[in-house]
Structure 1
Amino acid sequence: MSRATSLMRSAASGGRVTRLELFFDLVFVFALSQLSHHLLEQPSWGAAGETFVLLLGVYKVWVYTTWAATLLDTSRFEVQWMLLVVMLITLFMNASIGSAFGAFGWLFAASYLLVQLGRGAWLLTVGLDRTTHNHFVRTLIWQCMSAPFWIAGVFFGPGSRLMFWGVAAAIDLGGHMLAHRLPGQKTEGSRVPLPGERIFERFGLFYLIALGETILSTGLAIAGNLEDPLIFVTGTVSLAGSVAIWWCYFYSLEQEILKKLASVDDQFRPGILAGNTLVVLLAGLILVAVGDQLAISDPAARPDVATVLFLFGGPALFLAGRGFFIRRVLGHRQPSDLAGIGALAVLANLSFLLPAFVAAMGAALPLIGVAVADAVNRRRRTQQGAR
């Protein structure tokens, strides 16, 4: 057996997520905080577009590195060093988020390309099986197609950066959605040695970290406004919304997905779909975090358009992403998600007439309703299965 081949994960390697992988995730807590602050400092459509493009860049670094760590034996010295080097470079990339559309756009783009292209080329040397090797060759080709636009965004200046980087991010996202197909070439998912349960565990842990950052930002906003008695009400409502999101993801969705994976041979396609859906869920959490901070900063005032969009758009994105994933992977519709989105739309229009803390309640109530509906439906299915 060659040295490169031995880097592949085997049955003896174990399927548990290692502490190094969790340590690697910590640098992305910083990234999500930076993204929330970027949007909070300038709550506008332009800043929202910038935040989403930067989120795609940050997420692509995380998901491709995580994918590699899932396929490889993380007990091997070479794989551990790969994670640590990516972590170091990504730290500087995330530190530049606040100035990515200003003076330090070059640092964000250079760090991003160094990680994506460098790790992609390194993966071709570790002795992957033929199907997976060919897939990563195509992945590297897609990344090379987006690279000129990341570079052009730096050299053409801040004025046109969003346009160039938007195209680059769209290419990267499109490649992921299409499983990096090229003319006449595609990946046979059943032949990819992907441990589905492990990759979904990594997605769940990352989402939990993102949810924790939302709670952290809410807590910091409360700490800065303790003199207002309405802060306690608004903070409680914000936490209730975060708990409802946790319940909807981990109590309902995760268990059903793991059960589904155990019954299918091709775990590659659900993994690709889960990766794309996670971007939507993360975007929703960023909106939730910003909306909560805006409501907490002045709970008695009537919310402006930006605050309403953040407060209600975040939960709506979460429910839409969750419903889409359940429909595509589990094969059934989730009426509670559609009802929750409808309720959010109605309450969003009414919230312009109400104080911000009441608007925050309106944004949390549909999430709580969906969580309760999930609990009732799960108990009903459990009782029916026991008969």
Structure 2
Amino acid sequence: MIRARSLMRSATSGDGVTRLELFFDLVFVLALWQLSHHLLEHPSWVGAGETFVLLLAVYKVWVYTTWSATLLDTSRLEVQWMLLVVMLVTLFMNASIGSAFGAFGWLFAGSYLLVQLGRGVWMLTAGLDRTTHSHFVRTLIWGWMSTPFWIAGVFFGPELRLMFWGLAAAIDLGGHMLAHRLPGRKTEGSSVPLPGERIFERFGLFYLIALGETILSTGLAIAGNLQDPFIFLTGTISLAGSVAIWWCYFHGLEQDILDRLKSVDDQFRPGILAGNTLVLLLAGLILVAVGDQLVINDPAIRPDLSTVLLLYSGPALFLAARGFLIRQVLNRRTPSDLAGIGALVLLATVSFLLPAFIAAMGAVLPLIGVAVSDAVDRRRRTHQAVR
């Protein structure tokens, strides 16, 4: 059934992010905490693989719902109910993350498919324009392609479940990266009525919530180790890392990208690029949160391989994703990101010989260096623009 009156956003709908959309985001605080806790309990390659597959599913629910809400008029009651229903089902999906590879895999996969396919079908009744309607049809086709693997994984143990769900998540991610292209059918970005500035603002707000979860995890770890003489030092190091990440993303870079989006006609492609990058930025934050908790729990021991990888891969993944975003959207190279990654690799090789709290300090210093370099470069470009 197609609605007589379209639910799509109009020029008079307003571009601001609504309180309901921010309220919807809060259900994902639980998801991010569950994901970091799952990796903390399973600090292995298998645990990392499970966490990443679950992260991809959680992210797909958030990003597709966010894209849908961005295209629609969120002041309409039907759209508000759609967001609230998705929020309810997602709450149960996120609650089952800790046992998704155990007894409640059916709840995680079932909730995921109900949201993705149900919302997709509902969008086809929302009175979309021809181009957008065609795109959501292709989105559903990609969703149906991965569905058998999500369902099959439920009937097997953790090892085979990871294989089936990993394949399903790869299909879903591939569809997103290809803008759900099918043979002979693709979306012309300039014809999609996507407000790129608004969608990128949503990405930034969600990333800010994810940073908040990192601080929450650090705070809970501190609360459980208040008797430790190192607690003030390790807590400060952890917060310094979060502040450096915030600075590197929000202090100037976000505004540069928003300014860039104002000057281009095709805002669809930058939106896809930003969405693909955000999942890597989120993965980096989860790694950072888990690494910080391990150090706070036992700061004086020499870190093992898993602790070192968690401490250093998170910041490295953040810098790599940030550099990719800057290069693709702003067409600008960032030597500081490459230098920061190089420094992280070098420091990681010697961190096995050091106490964990010093290794954690080594993981934060390159981030601070990149933040300082950004500030200097921004001041230089500002002076050049004034002349």
Partner of residue 211, structure 2: 211
Of 156-165 and 352-361, the range deviating more from structure 2? 156-165
Q: Is the 8 A contact 1:54 1:97 kept in 2?
A: yes
CA distance in 1, matches of 2:4, 2:311: 49
Partner of residue 78, structure 2: 78
Q: Is the 8 A contact 2:6 2:128 kept in 1?
A: no
Partner of residue 123, structure 1: 123
AA matched with 1:10: S
SS in 1 for 2:370: helix
Deviation at 1:4, TM superposition (A): 4.8
Partner of residue 368, structure 2: 368
Q: How many residues align?
A: 386
Instruction: Please give the TM-score of this superposition, normalised by the length of structure 2.
Output: 0.99
Of 326-335 and 189-198, the range deviating more from structure 2? 326-335
Q: For residues 87-108 of structure 1, what are the alpha-carbon distances to aligned partners after superposition, in whole Å with 9 as ceiling and x for unaligned?
A: 0000000000000000000000
AA matched with 2:62: W
AA matched with 2:29: V
Partner of residue 351, structure 1: 351
Deviation at 1:331, TM superposition (A): 1.0
Q: For residues 318-372 of structure 1, what are the alpha-carbon distances to aligned partners after superposition, in whole Å with 9 as ceiling and x for unaligned?
A: 0000001111111121000000000000001111010011011000000000000
Deviation at 1:159, TM superposition (A): 3.3
Partner of residue 304, structure 1: 304
Of 312-321 and 153-162, the range deviating more from structure 2? 153-162
AA matched with 1:334: T
Deviation at 1:228, TM superposition (A): 1.2
CA distance in 2, matches of 1:181, 1:341: 33
SS in 1 for 2:264: coil
Of 25-34 and 149-158, the range deviating more from structure 2? 149-158
Flag the 1:4–1:35 CA change in 2: closer, same or farther, 3 A.
Answer: farther
CA distance in 2, matches of 1:354, 1:78: 57
Q: Does 1:231 align with 2:202?
A: no
CA distance in 1, matches of 2:27, 2:318: 23
Partner of residue 273, structure 2: 273
In structure 1, list runs of 5 or more residues that go unmatched: none
Partner of residue 188, structure 1: 188
Partner of residue 58, structure 2: 58
CA distance in 2, matches of 1:15, 1:90: 25
Q: For residues 181-221 of structure 1, what are the alpha-carbon distances to aligned partners after superposition, in whole Å with 9 as ceiling and x for unaligned?
A: 00001100000000011000000000000000000000110
Counterpart mapping for 1:143-222 below 5 A: 143-222=143-222
SS in 2 for 1:11: coil
Q: Is the 8 A contact 2:315 2:363 kept in 1?
A: yes
AA matched with 1:212: G
SS in 2 for 1:275: helix
CA distance in 1, matches of 2:218, 2:349: 24
Flag the 1:338–1:356 CA change in 2: closer, same or farther, 3 A.
Answer: same
CA distance in 2, matches of 1:154, 1:29: 25
Q: Is the 8 A contact 2:302 2:355 kept in 1?
A: yes
CA distance in 2, matches of 1:258, 1:166: 34
Flag the 1:3–1:152 CA change in 2: closer, same or farther, 3 A.
Answer: closer
In structure 2, list runs of 5 or more residues that go unmatched: none
Deviation at 1:157, TM superposition (A): 3.3
CA distance in 2, matches of 1:64, 1:253: 24
Q: Is the 8 A contact 1:323 1:333 kept in 2?
A: yes
Of 149-158 and 159-168, the range deviating more from structure 2? 149-158
Q: Is the 8 A contact 1:5 1:128 kept in 2?
A: no
Partner of residue 103, structure 1: 103
Counterpart mapping for 1:87-98 below 5 A: 87-98=87-98
Partner of residue 20, structure 2: 20
CA distance in 1, matches of 2:163, 2:370: 37
AA matched with 2:108: F
CA distance in 2, matches of 1:130, 1:163: 37
Partner of residue 29, structure 2: 29
AA matched with 1:48: A
CA distance in 1, matches of 2:349, 2:181: 42
Counterpart mapping for 1:31-46 below 5 A: 31-46=31-46
CA distance in 2, matches of 1:303, 1:232: 19
AA matched with 1:114: L
Q: Does 1:7 align with 2:7?
A: yes
Q: For residues 228-256 of structure 1, what are the alpha-carbon distances to aligned partners after superposition, in whole Å with 9 as ceiling and x for unaligned?
A: 12111011011011000000101132111
SS in 1 for 2:228: coil
CA distance in 1, matches of 2:385, 2:25: 38
Q: For residues 120-179 of structure 1, what are the alpha-carbon distances to aligned partners after superposition, in whole Å with 9 as ceiling and x for unaligned?
A: 000001111111110110000000000000000012333310000000000000000000
AA matched with 1:369: G
Counterpart mapping for 1:322-361 below 5 A: 322-361=322-361
Of 3-12 and 29-38, the range deviating more from structure 2? 3-12
Q: Does 1:136 align with 2:136?
A: yes
Partner of residue 263, structure 2: 263
SS in 2 for 1:172: helix
Q: Is the 8 A contact 1:7 1:126 kept in 2?
A: yes
Flag the 1:4–1:207 CA change in 2: closer, same or farther, 3 A.
Answer: farther
AA matched with 1:136: F
Q: Is the 8 A contact 1:4 1:126 kept in 2?
A: no
Q: Is the 8 A contact 2:96 2:107 kept in 1?
A: yes
CA distance in 2, matches of 1:329, 1:104: 40
